[in-house]
Structure 1
Amino acid sequence: MRKSFRNLLFILLVIGISCSEAPKGETATTSLPVYKDVPYLQDYSIKYDKQEDDQLLFEAYMDRNEVIQVSSSDGILRTHDGQFLYPGVLLQDKTYRPLTDKNISAMTVYQDQFVYLDDEAVLGNAWAGSLYLKHNLPKANIFAAGTDFDFLISDGQSLQYVSKNNPGWQGALSKDKTISIKFDQKTNSFWILGEKSVTSFNPKDTNLKTVYEGSNFTSFALVDNTLILTTLDGYLEVDATSGKQIGDKKIKLPWTEINYVDLIDGHLWFGSTKGAFKLKEDGKFSYYYGKRWMPSNNVKHISKGTDGSILILTDTGLGQIVFEEMTLYEKAQYYEKQVRNRHIRLGFNATLVDMDNGNFDTGRLSDSDNDGLWTTMYLAGQVFRYAVTKSEDVLQNCRESMDAMERLFSINPVPGFPSRSFERSGYINQLHDPDRWQHSSDPEWDWKSTTSSDEAIGHIFAYGAMAEIMDNDLKDRAIVLIDTLMSHIVRNDLYMVDYDGKPTTWGRWNPEYVNARPKMVGDRKINASNIIGMLQTAYHFTGKEKYKEKAFDLMDNHGYLDNLMWPMKDVAMAPDDADDWSKMLSESWNHSDDEMYFVGYWGLYRYAFNDTLKTKFKEAIIDHWEIERPEKEGAWNIMTALTGTQEFDLEEAAWYLREHPMDMVAWEVMNSHRKDITFIAPNFREQTTAEVLPPDERRVQRHNGNMFTLDGGSNGTQEYSAGDIWLLPYWMGRYLGVISAPQTMD
């Protein structure tokens, strides 16, 4: 049966999306452009692994009943028990028991029905089993179907044409070995690929005509009247009528060792020794690499399923790429269930780690140095979601995360100091990170110290959004935490002071520290920007003059306004005469700082003391956004919309959300080998290519990673939460009114 998105949700135990979740309207800051959330095609993979290491896999097809079969060195296999994120296996197909006794060497589909080749005949179980055309090539293992139950078969050396009205023509290629046969319906002729030639065969006159000669061919496809001939060094194009090569290779392939090519729905699909890729209308490729998409990267065969999916057969199994129509809203519902089902640890937004090859049931929820940050980013997203939906279920999500955030403060003995994390006491905490884990007054619990500015800005961002948007007890709880944290910072001379009475390494906003950095060093700008936004938020919701006075003191007497207005293009490495700490801080562009900036911009712009400052802050935000534009970062683009600017790369933000993979597992991803991307010289920003790759071709990463990192990930040992990575920008976009409610709902 057709795999639908609802079936996908059922598979993952995510059925039951409440009608109370239906959108109830957005809150736009101004008249901004709006992305209309219409259905688009979302791809994801269902994988099936072979069970025997020495088993060879040849072709994979789907029939009109959506049954998938694979021809192999052990006969016909079929798929078993595969679901999205839960791989199945390939088993011997015993459905038609008599077939298990036959020496089936190849298969294809004809009229969307399976057809088999064995050592005696071409046969099938459709058409009441009446298809049975005998041949004289006992070692035949290659064939293709024509238009009227006719087939051309080969054992590599000889050819035989069989049909219900023909006793069987036999012939052979001249001084070549057949490796593939395909049929062209337009000319009603077969094309035969040899290792060093391409030959046409017309059944009417049984004429073999060599069209082109070359060497080391691996596969071929016919596009209109052009032959696409692949090798282990790319491909070439040949005019099928004249037999002349058409120029040189016109398109740079991601990888040139091509095993297979086929034309599917007007697109060329290539299978290589390093993944599969589809040529798009714009001349670029959709690249499918690694276990996110298929069991291995050595692709042997590609075909289209009758349900619209693409079957990519590799040497170790099958990857079925499914394309489903969905809206961003429907994608959000899947991610919401992903977070609640597998990523909530004590109310924190956590990562699942120590998984065995992507198996969720083998993983564990892990604490993080940044539990406070990842959770506040998730919490802020849920606050925006609540503003849009008014869902009681969403409100409960907020309460549970807020419980965790409040306990970060209460579990340690330092007034107003937020812990990094907390966990039940045990040797694991002390063994793995004894410098940070501290015992609480409750012997059952430990807490993690050395909290950084990353956490602080995340706290203030989420509490500010909650205090502004919520109309219940959470509003008051948020304001209390804003005041608690900021009182600690102001009381301690703009430091976060740990249990030992010393400032933490990164919780430092004091002018003595900040202005010790040369102006081009990013820490000077980021710390000034963050602390002004934090103080503004505290003043806005508490009305306490101490926050306003401290902010203006920093801006008027310590240059913090100039610091935060420093142009992003001038952020650079520290000079040779700078101190070692400044040099360390500015070795390259800091993408974690980008995350802290944009998270902090909510309070910097939204709660500005006056319109003059608001205008300046808008200038600083847009200046930062301009330099970030090449990354097409969905969160940064949508956050920039809070300033009311008409230009914030809305389409690129929607592209980020659409192209993000459904599979959040940290599979290994490689792109540095690709020949279809333009590399640029090493630079301070660590931008590696002229254009950023789509998210589903990169490693899964948070917003604090470099979007131009080409390689990374792991062998399925972790699954990231969508809470901070995807749901925050989506629900912020909905709240700001720049992403519409779904335009069509099933």
Structure 2
Amino acid sequence: MILNKKKIYQVLLLCLALQPFGWRTAIAQDRFKQEYAIKYYTHDRKTNNAKVLSDRNGRIQFLQAGRLLKPFDGKLLFPGRLSADITYRYDSLETFRDIILYQNNFVYLTNQLVYSNAWAGTCLFKHHLPKAKFLEMDETGNVFLTDGQQIRCYAMDGKVLANARVDDKIKAVHYDTRNQLFWMLSNQALYNYSLQNKQVHTVYRGSDFSCFTLNETGKLLVLAKSDRYSLFSIEKSTDGQVRMIQQRNWDDRLPAQPVNTVQYVDGTLWFGSMHGAFRQQENGAFDYYQSGRWLPGDTVYSLAKGPESTVLIATNKGLARLHHKAMSLEEKAAYYDKQVRERHIRYGLNATLKGLKEGNLRTGILSDSDNDGLWTSMYLAAEAFRYATTKDSDALLNCRESLLAMERLYSVNPLKGFPSRSFERIGHKTDLADSKVWLDAPDGRWSWKSTTSSDEAIGHLFVFSVLAEVVNDPWVKEKAVTLMDSLMSHIVANDLYLVDHDGKPTLWGKWNPAYVNQFPTNIGDRKLNSSNIISMLQSAYYFTKKEKYRDKAWELMDRHGYYENLMRPMKGIGQADEKADDYSKMLSERWNHSDDEMYFLGYWGLYRYALNDTLKNNFRKAILDHWEFERPEKDALWNFFAAMVGEKNFDRDASLWFLREFPLDLINWQVTNSVRKDIRHLEENFMNQSTDAVLSPKERPVHRHNRTTFILDEDSNGTEEFSAGDIWLLPYWLGRYLEVVK
């Protein structure tokens, strides 16, 4: 036998008893810029080439199909609308072709007029270019118009200053204040025009040009094709002509294509495409904004600076206003706490809001799930850590409420010590597809969901242990220990099985050696189930002092190889070979990230309540071995469990990044990242790691900790809002409790 109790107690070993966490380098809660979007929808389908601008007064105007619109209402998660701007009665009578800013005031181009409501309305004259498409003005107020070929320039009083022509089809125009030039782009050339010499110059030729922009200083020009872009510096030659010097080769590593528009906003380069918007970071990488989380529609036509340092994005379905709010992690936790309490508590259980119609929160219903006990356990643990850290009375009330719901999972059914998956009033079971697993409770008023799984069980033991250890409240401690003892008594009395209403073990509630050791040693379930049950038995013994739990743990480790099973390195876990049974092959097709969640929740009891210091030291090694495999996911929850066992280098920066980058919008919008060219894709692998580096949480699909963070796509349409209780609040408050987040 590898473990002998007498020998263990005779050997002097390194003690890894629980220590204060003050020696660790903690994550400071400096305020950061939290991004979120407010969306404004339009029901007009004629949205080609929509344009948005904001003037010096903070007014926003959206030009669409010849009409001026403005945003109304709207806040985070509750979209507003775009309605006709009738502030000036005259504006509602015109058909608009373009809108620009001059001295930060709106100037309009209509079928017949150039005018503005600023400067007491003195800017108004009739132009004679009936098909004019583009309007620009220089610093002195001179007006430049073109219909794509004809060019006509006016003074602000309407006096004609010049006429010219380009034998091409102009698609974009910008004025260059530094060089006093009007720049024009066609599909195959970039031109400029000067009012001083009244000549058109061809500056650069190529093909498939889509858009261009100048930076705020006029020294840099960005030229984009549909699938790539390049950067040029602008210099004047000795003869006074402007020339472009290419600073960057044509780069096609863009998140989305084709590119429709490009714009500098407060010194940052933004792109709009047929599949979202993206901005370039200082290191050259991109932040990508797509789907209903950020935009009303994914086809982006226009970008502009908005009021209060926001960014305005005009799309095919309306306007997005991207905000950057200074926020601390504690303030973010308060936001998420409000989200949970307002929309995600069902009978005290932590639930998902389902049935949303395109993300409309007003249409959602609280739904049961197979894992109500698990999601509630994780949220309840977050509130326990919050109370232990802050002594907030609301946190204690939340603990009591959700603990009653956990108790209800046991009392609603007639089976002693057996936790239901969920419960609901008779006649209101929401998961009708699983109607066979719903059973009526003895009181005739409620139904309970059977077939409880192992991930429910480990979640229950995790939170009962957390409550019993960290919440200084006699009622909470007593109830948590009672429920823990009830569940574990059921499992031990039933030969390490969860036995359902039919007298048979549930599909996954199996920890018996005959089941566990039937698998080849490289099958993950053999290691997982061994790790979980030892954690569960140790926890039950630690809090109840009942020897049956301690003795059963030693029996499994000494006589049935559970110690070897759980200590087996993760590098030895993989796919079953050809000679293995079909069940083993099915269980090992790919790395199971739901198992990761079960492992790490179990590590709380495996390490903290180890039967002796030798086991604690060895279990620590097994936990960190697993964590090393998970480090690329940059999941703060896994990192903080590593900190829990004393790992100094627990990826502090990655954890902070995870907590800060998580979106405030937790609706399951459709997300598509797999087509991006700015990320490096990997060959299909056992770990399901799709790229060489994980994407930001704000760019990838929202999901719980039971899925890999390397998921790139989500085929959904805003039908659910997830609860932050288990996803974000648990890692945050665990980090606060461990004092690795200050």
TM-score for the superposition, normalised by structure 1: 0.93
Alpha-carbon distance between aligned partners in 1 of 2:710 and 2:389, rounded to the nearest angstrom = 33
Range moving further from structure 2, 421-430 or 698-707: 421-430
Residue 236 of structure 1 pairs with residue 230 of structure 2: yes
Structure 1 residues 706 and 411, CA, compared in 2 at 3 Å: closer, same or farther? same
Percent sequence identity is 49
Moved more, 182-191 or 253-262: 182-191
SS at match of 1:695: coil
Return the offset for 1:541.
0.8
Letter in 1 for 2:150: S
Deviates more, 1:210-219 or 1:346-355: 210-219
Q: Deviations over 1:363-419 (max 9, x none)?
A: 111000000000000000000011112111111111110110001111111111111
Q: 1:670 aligns with which of 660, 669, 672?
A: 672
Residue in structure 2 matched with residue 105 of structure 1 by the alignment: 97
The one-letter amino acid of 1:510's match is N
**Worse-matched range after superposition: 244-253 or 388-397:** 244-253
Residue of structure 2 in register with 1:345 after alignment: 346
Q: Is the 8 A contact 1:370 1:420 kept in 2?
A: yes
Residue 20 of structure 1 corresponds to which residue in structure 2? none
Aligned partner (choices 60, 70, 82) of residue 78 of structure 1: 70
The letter for the 2-side match of 1:540 is Y
The aligned residue for residue 8 of structure 1 is none
Partner of residue 484, structure 2: 482
CA shift for structure 1 position 339: 0.5
Judged with a 3 Å threshold, the aligned counterparts in structure 2 of structure 1 residues 619 and 430 are, in CA distance, closer, same or farther, namely closer
Moved more, 341-350 or 81-90: 81-90
The answer on whether the counterparts of 2:670 and 2:715 sit within 8 Å (CA) in structure 1 is yes
3-state SS of paired residue (1:36)? coil
**Alignment of 1:641 onto 2:643:** yes
CA distance in 2, matches of 1:281, 1:268: 10
Instruction: Kindly state the Cα deviation for residue 713 of structure 1 after the two structures are TM-superposed.
Output: 4.5
* Alignment check: 8 A CA contact 1:196 1:213 kept: yes
CA contact (8 A) 2:383 2:398 kept: yes
CA contact (8 A) 2:349 2:372 kept: yes
Contact residue 227 and residue 254 of structure 2 kept, 8 A = no
The 1-side partners of 2:555 and 2:726 are apart by 34
Cα drift, residue 144 of structure 1: 2.2
Preserved contact between residue 199 and residue 210 of structure 1 (Cα < 8 Å): yes
Q: How does 1:583-598 map to 2 (within 5 A)?
A: 583-598=585-600
Residue 127 of structure 1, aligned match among 119, 126, 141: 119
Match of 1:405 in 2: 406
- Counterpart CA distance in 1 for 2:431 and 2:37 is 40
Give the equivalent residue in structure 1 for 2:583: 581
Instruction: Name which of 718, 722, 725 aligns with 1:723.
Output: 725
Cα offset, 1:238, TM superposition? 4.2
Q: Evaluate the alpha carbon distance shift between residue 346 and residue 209 of structure 1 in structure 2; reply closer, same or farther with a 3 A threshold.
A: same
Corresponding residue for residue 321 of structure 1: 322
Amino acid corresponding to residue 629 of structure 1 in structure 2: R
2-structure distance, mates of 1:550, 1:299: 62
Change in 2 beyond 3 A, CA 1:565/1:171: farther
Q: Which residue of 1 aligns with 2:11?
A: none
Number of the residue aligned with 1:4: none
Rounded Cα–Cα distance in structure 1 between residues aligned with 2:373 and 2:493: 22
Deviation string 1:144-171 (CA, Å, 9 cap, x unpaired) is 2322323322121212233348833333
Displacement after TM superposition at 1:609 (Å): 1.5
CA, structure 1 residues 308+255, in 2 after alignment: closer, same or farther (shift >3 Å)? same
Instruction: Note the alpha carbon deviations across 1:423-456, whole angstroms, 9 max, x for none.
Output: 0111746843232111110111000011111011
Counterpart position of 1:170: 162
2:12 alignment partner in structure 1: none
- Say whether residues 1:151 and 2:143 are aligned partners: yes
Query: 2:691 corresponds to which residue?
Result: 689
TM-score norm. by structure 2 comes to 0.93
Q: Which stretches in structure 2 are left out of the alignment for 5+ residues?
A: 1-18, 236-242
Which range moves more in the overlay, 169-178 or 730-739? 169-178
Deviation at 1:134, TM superposition (A): 4.5
Change (3 A) 1:455 1:642: same
Matches of 2:311 and 2:726, distance apart in 1: 31
Counterpart mapping for 1:359-374 below 5 A: 359-374=360-375
User: What is the DSSP-based 3-state SS (H/G/I as helix, E as strand, rest coil) of the residue aligned with 2:387?
Assistant: helix
1: CA distance, partners of 2:41 / 2:428: 38
Which of 80, 83, 93 in structure 2 is aligned with 1:88?
80
Please state how far the C-alpha of 1:251 moved relative to its aligned partner.
5.5
Bigger Cα displacement from structure 2, 188-197 vs 405-414: 188-197
1:219 matched to 2:188? The reply is no
Say whether 1:706 aligns with 2:708.
yes
Deviations 1:167-193 (A, max 9, x none): 333334432122111122322322111
Partner of 1:613: 615
Name the CA distance, whole Å, in 1 between partners of 2:431 and 2:643. 44
Q: Which residue of 1 aligns with 2:202?
A: 210
Q: Quote the Cα distance in structure 1 between the aligned partners of 2:76 and 2:104.
A: 25
Give the count of matched residue pairs.
714
User: In structure 1, the residue corresponding to 2:140 is in which secondary structure?
Assistant: coil
Moved more, 233-242 or 287-296: 233-242
Structure 1 residue 205: Cα displacement: 3.3
Aligned 8 A contact 1:169 1:206 in 2: no
- Structure-2 change in CA distance of 1:457 and 1:417 (3 Å): same
Distance 2:431 2:40 in 1: 41
Aligned to 1:385: 386
**What is the one-letter code of the residue matched to 2:695?**
L
In structure 2, relative to structure 1, the CA distance for the partners of 1:429 and 1:281 (3 Å cut) is closer
Report Cα offsets for 1:38-71 as digits up to 9, x if no partner: 1111111111111222354521011222221111
Deviation per residue, 1:274-302 (Å, 9 max, x gap): 11111111111100111111111111111
The worse-fitting range, judged by mean Cα deviation, of 225-234 and 159-168 is: 159-168
Q: Tell me which amino acid in the other structure corresponds to 1:734.
A: R
Instruction: Please report the RMSD computed on the Cα atoms of aligned residues, expressed in angstroms.
Output: 1.7
Q: Secondary structure at the match of 1:599?
A: helix
Deviations along 1:107-134, whole A, 9 cap, x unmatched? 1222322221123333221222222354
Structure 1 gaps of 5+ residues are: 1-26, 741-746
Partner Cα distance (1:71, 1:393) in 2: 48
One-letter amino acid matched to 2:390: T
Asked if residue 444 in structure 1 is aligned to residue 436 in structure 2, the reply is: no
Q: Deviations over 1:587-637 (max 9, x none)?
A: 100000000011111111111122111111111111111110111112111
- Aligned residue for 1:51, secondary structure, equals coil
CA distance in 2, matches of 1:373, 1:289: 31
C-alpha deviation, 1:74, in angstroms? 3.5
Contact 2:683 2:690 in 1 (8 A): yes
Q: Which residue of 2 aligns with 1:563?
A: 565
**Counterparts of 2:540 and 2:389, CA distance in 1:** 25
Q: Distance in 1 between matches of 2:611 and 2:102?
A: 72
* 2:257 aligned partner: 256
CA distance in 2, matches of 1:30, 1:102: 68
- The whole-number CA distance in structure 1 between the counterparts of 2:440 and 2:478 is 30
Where in structure 2 are the equivalents of 1:545-560 lying within 5 Å? 545-560=547-562
